[in-house]
Amino acid sequence: MPPVAGPLLKRGAAKVQDYIEHVGVARVVVKKECEMPIIECLEEDAKPQSFNRSGIEVYQQGQLFSWTDANGQRQSVTVDACDYIPPGQTADLPNRLGMTFVMAAVNPNRRGMTYTALSDAKTSVCLDVTDQNNPKWTYHFDNVRVPVFSSVCARPSYVEMGADESEWTQTVTNRDIYEKALAAMRWWVPGSYVQPSYPPKMFTFSSMIKAHENVHLEDRSNKIEEKFNEVFKEIFYGRFSQKDYPCPEDVLAFGRLAPVKDKLADALIGAAKATVRSEERTDHAARNEREGILKRFEAWAKTQSWYPR
């Protein structure tokens, strides 16, 4: 006896009655031997899922990270990663003024509540009936969150002079300070990785440091998209046949779903470890933005009462 055609509803619905009001989106087939309704795939599901870059969530030191845990409870932690040293690496923390990396876990250095990346990703399955003789199950992943730390890090040995005009007004209050700050800002334009020693007066400008981290962020974001798209293709072309697994719950069972989720974790790790531009090349890429900041600083100074006329 053929399956009985049921009402129409959205792909990913757990129960028929949940979306009974949605018409013309996807077809549900109810089979008596299955616990879950079979959701037919949409046309867009006939190809590998594409990674949505909106899933890349960028956090700075001190910002709040929130998620819903396995018990449905809302949790939050304050991001604290400026002193994090990835396994197998070393760092000159007193002089590390910025950092960008994929957070496999939020606040891995701290005890207590932490978030593990992808732990709240949602998995659904639909049936691709394009080949009527061999329908296949297609996984779809939602809420794929990839937290990335990209931040300026304050250090006690350095003097932060401000990121923009509003902050320069507070720190650069006379001509003498301006000339010292100008020398330091000119030092920062080519970047700290191609300069000898330390900046004049140990002055830093967070916008100059952020320009460097922005290049790292773009490089790392590209790697995240690349690695997840590779894995989505691998998952798609390794789909299970309905002949082997008749019901949705069969392919959502732990034994078959766990290896699929492991592939997502592999994408995360691959993106975190992938080679990107060197620090020197990153400084070179940030130079145009830094030169723009220097020009703004010089133009701002000319509007101040202490500037020589």
Q: What pLDDT, in 10s, does the model give residues 77-107?
A: 999 999 998 777 788 999 999 999 999 999 7
pLDDT band at 22; cut points 50, 70, 90: very low
Domain ranges of the chain: 41-301
Question: Model confidence over 228-242: pLDDT tens digits?
Answer: 999 999 999 999 999
Compare 165 and 2 and report the one with higher pLDDT: 165
Segment 241-253 shows an average pLDDT of: 95
pLDDT band at 254; cut points 50, 70, 90: very high
Distances (CA, A) of 93 to 97, 241, 278: 8, 52, 19
The confidence score (pLDDT) of residue 51 equals 97
pLDDT band at 27; cut points 50, 70, 90: low
Q: HEC string of the chain?
A: CCCEEEEECCCCCCCHHHHCCCCCCCEEEECCCCCCCEEECCHHHHCCCCCCHHHEEEECCCCEEEEECCCCCEEEEECCCCCCCCCCCCCCHHHCCEEEEECCEECCCCCCCCEECCCCCEEEEEEECCCCCCCEEEEEEECCCEEEEEEECCCCCCEECCCCHHHHHHHCCCHHHHHHHHHHHHHHCCCHHHCCCCCHHHEECHHHHHHHHHHHHHHHHHHHHHHHHHHHHHHHHCCCECCCCCCHHHHCCHHHHHHHHHHHHHHHHHHHHCCCCCHHHHHHHHHHHHHHHHHHHHHHHCCCCCCCC
pLDDT band at 111; cut points 50, 70, 90: low
Please state, for a pLDDT cut of 90, what percent of the chain lies above it: 77
**pLDDT of 20 over the 80 cut:** no
The verdict on pTM exceeding 0.85 is yes
